[in-house]
Structure 1
Amino acid sequence: MPLEFRGVVDEMLQTPNRPSGATPPPIRLSQNEMPWTPSAPIVAAMTAAVETSHRYPDYHRAAARAAIAGALGVDQDRVAVDNGSGSLLHGLARLVCEPGVHGVYPVPSFEAYKAALGLAGADATAVSLAEDGAMDLAAMAAAIRPETRIVYLCNPNNPTGGLIPVEGLREFLRSVPENVIVVLDEAYREFVTDEPVEAALPLLDEFDNLVILRTLSKSHGLAGIRAGYAAASERIAEALRRTSVGFALNGIAEAALIAAFSPEGIAIAEERVATIVAERARMVRALDEAGVAVLPSQSNFLFLPGDAGALMARFAEQGVLARPFPNAGGARVTVGLPAENDAVLAALL
């Protein structure tokens, strides 16, 4: 198995098989999922879509793109939709990469960036984060070479939760050559409280080489459905649509996406996100008061610096399943329901 995929697969396989009744299931806080099942309007839309699943979905995903465009305030022609934002970030690498070209990505960060560049045949440079867990954009700009064609940014960064403010992104984009695509992965953007959720969207009108990726896996709790979207220039969005696998967004996922961006769907997601943000603040306060190291986070997870093995052992004692990052020097734990978060605090305090 290629090394770049092992982290993803290892995470999927962390939940151990247990004989029925032997021990309670772990508190699953390893994959940054939302703790609630999909909201009622989304479930209703998916249920209705099952009844017509003998028909192919819309090849052009027009209704889904229109729903996203309306929510973001952009033209529909600037939107591409696919089977998760991971499919889109791989698609962008395939568009511009081949042997002999170069890409840049942060580390530690989402493992798919390295995988996408490797599968596209590109050379790649990994750039370490700043001490606060956010990207070091000055170092990333310095890593760009004449043969660079794509740069991946993760903001807030996964697994550390650090955020670069929009002005920092704008300054970085001004330094990037126009022939280099900058992929801004905002998978956790809805959990940001330091600035408005939509703060980075105006950058699309300033920089034609910018692509913003988002997902419905997090704020809308649709990790198992696989739906993500890109907002970009019309040229890049059209290229993504033309090169996407036909019908990659299945009919049930399309129905879920449209319902998610309905007024009711958005309101429920905002309420749930607010609960996670409040719990995040409660956990950070408790950890700070106890002198437990934790990185500042603008996401739905916390990164605890320290010995990853020791942290995982402490979590396991409380029945908490977290995600170790030994190479990053710590462990990541998702913010869940209050009782789940109490178990996390009991493991750390």
Structure 2
Amino acid sequence: MTSPDSPRVVLRPEILSTAPYRQGKPAPADAFKLSSNENPFSPIPEVLAAIAGASINRYPDAAARVLSERLASRFGVATEEIHVGSGSVSILAALIQAAAAPGDEVVFAWRSFEAYPGLVTVAGATGVMVPNRPDHSHDLEAMAAAVTDRTRVVIVCTPNNPTSTIVTADEFEKFMAAVPPTVLVLLDEAYAEFVTDPDAVDGTTLIGRYPNLVVLRTFSKAYGLAGLRIGYAIGPEYILDAVRATSIPLSVTEPAQRGAMAALDNEATLLERVAELVDRRDDLWERLRSLGWSAPQPQGNFIWFATGEETEAVYDVFLDHGIVGRMLGDGIRVSVGEAESVDKLVSAAAEVVEKLPRALSNTALD
């Protein structure tokens, strides 16, 4: 071990002052881990069989050609307009590094995905955080107004993690009309398959309409492949070529590629599970409303409790009931998990209403 008095390696000060991304806390044996927005269903046999057939002594196909071709056919684009990465967050990192450098700015809503600030800092750029509206949704007008001649990237997250709110198609169309075509817009749709609001934007319907738009999707959530780390981007070839230049080579493993293909082959079964989770989510939200909570109507596979100064106390109540949520400063995000977790969460929420009523004053109005 080095002595405290030993000379220290010079590291970037902005990195040293940046908190690393922290994974959701593990759950005790008698609790439900609802802190990471994971799909609670076990993998289907077809996915397990596909993974088992992988040749892990060989390097994977760096271009994920088979999967890229499958996705290109699905969305009616060229294979070069698809990029497969080790989760959508890794593609986000590569996109930001490809477009933004020191002195440049990246605009995103706040609160939104907690990894965004760190990704921007690593690129050497400056993050511009635009506050969400009182209902916890993106303020796209304010985000467009925050774009300057230094802006290189704007990130739009829908459904927004952690508030579970959506951007509407009409809002997004107006936003894209206001953003200069030289600014890269990233539409982060990691939870798109859980959306039931007919007014929500769907990035896959916008392909080819905007030359500065890249749509991000993942197999982690709806398809239940979080442990394999695989996602993809759809966008102009020259932008994705830049991503391919900034990405870590060979980072998408063969088991991940095989698992994603098997998931697509059995998509109907997996989307039945998504529908079950959506029903569970909506029932849970209605039960919370009946208790007096007015959390944003969720469109992801999670619910946002904006608990303000009572956040730690509410987190402890949830934990006492066997619910491990994700504490994020001014609120708690709770994933929709196993059916058995619902009653426990409702009981915990009822106790908060009784003992910590101030926590409810921070939630959004319907």
Same fold by TM-score greater than 0.5: yes
Match of 1:272 in 2: 273
Counterpart CA distance in 2 for 1:189 and 1:67 is 19
Bigger Cα Rg: 2
1:299 aligns with 2:310: no
* Deviates most, 200-209 or 84-93: 200-209
User: SS in structure 1 opposite 2:332?
Assistant: strand
Match of 2:88 in 1: 85
Q: CA deviation at 1:292?
A: 2.0
Does residue 180 (structure 1) correspond to residue 183 (structure 2)? The answer is yes
User: Is the 8 Å Cα contact of residues 315 and 347 (structure 1) preserved in structure 2?
Assistant: yes
Matched, 1:237 2:240: yes
Corresponding residue of 2:37? 32
- Cα distance between partner residues in 2 of 1:296 and 1:4: 32
Q: Within the alignment, does 1:341 sit opposite 2:342 as a pair?
A: yes
Shift of 1:3: 5.3
Per-residue Cα deviation, 1:186-216 (whole angstroms, up to 9, x for no partner): 0111100012888322222111100111111
Q: Is the 8 A contact 1:322 1:332 kept in 2?
A: yes
Counting matched residue pairs gives 334
Which residue of structure 1 aligns with residue 362 of structure 2? none
State the match for 1:55 in structure 2.
Answer: 58
Q: Partners of 1:344 and 1:73 in 2: how far apart?
A: 42
Q: What is the alpha-carbon distance in structure 2 between the residues aligned to residue 339 and residue 96 of structure 1?
A: 45
Q: Does 1:15 align with 2:26?
A: yes
Q: What is the TM-score with the length of structure 2 in the denominator?
A: 0.87
* Aligned AA (1:59): A
In the aligned structure 1, how far is the partner of 2:256 from the partner of 2:228? 6
- The DSSP-based 3-state class of the residue aligned with 2:232 is strand
1:310 and 1:59 mapped to 2: Cα distance? 47
Give TM-score scaled by structure 1 length: 0.91
> Counterpart of 1:74?
77
> 1:159-198, aligned counterparts within 5 Å?
159-195=162-198
1:65 maps onto 2:47 in alignment:
no
Deviation (angstroms), 1:4: 4.2
Instruction: Single out whichever of 182-191 and 114-123 deviates more from structure 2.
Output: 114-123
Q: Does 1:139 align with 2:142?
A: yes
Q: Which residue of 1 aligns with 2:3?
A: none
Letter in 1 for 2:108: Y
Moved more, 52-61 or 215-224: 52-61
Alignment of 1:249-264 (within 5 A): 249-262=252-265, 264=266
Give the Cα separation in 2 of the matches to 1:5 and 1:79: 32
**In structure 1, distance between residues paired with 2:248 and 2:120:** 19
Matching residue's letter, 1:286: R
Please give the secondary structure, in 2, of the residue aligned with 1:278. Answer: helix
The one-letter code of the counterpart of 1:281 is D
Show structure 2 runs of 5+ residues with no match: 1-14, 351-366
Do 2:223 and 2:270's aligned partners in 1 also have CA atoms closer than 8 Å? Answer: yes
| CA distance in structure 1 between the partners assigned to 2:279 and 2:76 by the alignment | 28
1:224: how far off? 1.1
Equivalent pair of 1:91/1:243 in contact (CA under 8 Å): yes
Cα distance change on mapping 1:106 and 1:296 into 2, 3 Å: same
Question: Aligned with 2:107: secondary structure?
Answer: strand
Identity of paired residues, percent?
34
Mapped partners of 2:145, 2:238: distance in 1: 27
**Is the CA contact 1:4–1:111 (under 8 Å) kept in the aligned structure 2?**
no
- Equivalent-residue separation in structure 1 for 2:184 and 2:253 (angstroms): 28
Compared with structure 1, are the counterparts of its residues 302 and 78 closer, same or farther at alpha carbon in structure 2 (3 Å cutoff)? same
In the alignment, what sits opposite 1:129? 132
Q: Is the 8 A contact 2:172 2:201 kept in 1?
A: no
Kindly state the Cα deviation for residue 42 of structure 1 after the two structures are TM-superposed.
1.1
Structure 1 stretch 246-255 or stretch 236-245: which is displaced more? 236-245
Mapped partners of 1:171, 1:330: distance in 2: 30
Question: Are residue 203 (structure 1) and residue 185 (structure 2) matched?
Answer: no
Output the amino acid matched with 1:38. Answer: P
Where does 1:96-115 land on structure 2 (aligned, <5 Å)? 96-115=99-118
Post-superposition offset of 1:309: 1.4
Aligned partners of 1:166 and 1:200 also within 8 Å: no
- Counterpart residue number, 1:21: none
- Which whole-Å CA distance do the structure 2 matches of 1:74 and 1:340 have between them? 41
User: Closer, same or farther in 2 for the Cα pair 1:164/1:200, shift >3 Å?
Assistant: same
Deviation for aligned residue 1:81: 0.6
CA RMSD of aligned residues (A): 1.7
Q: 1:222 to 1:4 in 2, by over 3 A?
A: farther
Contact 1:36 1:221 in 2 (8 A): yes
* Distance 1:212-1:4 versus aligned 2 partners, 3 A rule: farther
Unaligned runs of 5+ in 1: 19-23
Could you tell me which amino acid in structure 2 is paired with residue 325 of structure 1?
L
* Deviation of the 1:325 alpha carbon: 2.2
Q: Distance in 2 between matches of 1:5 and 1:259?
A: 37
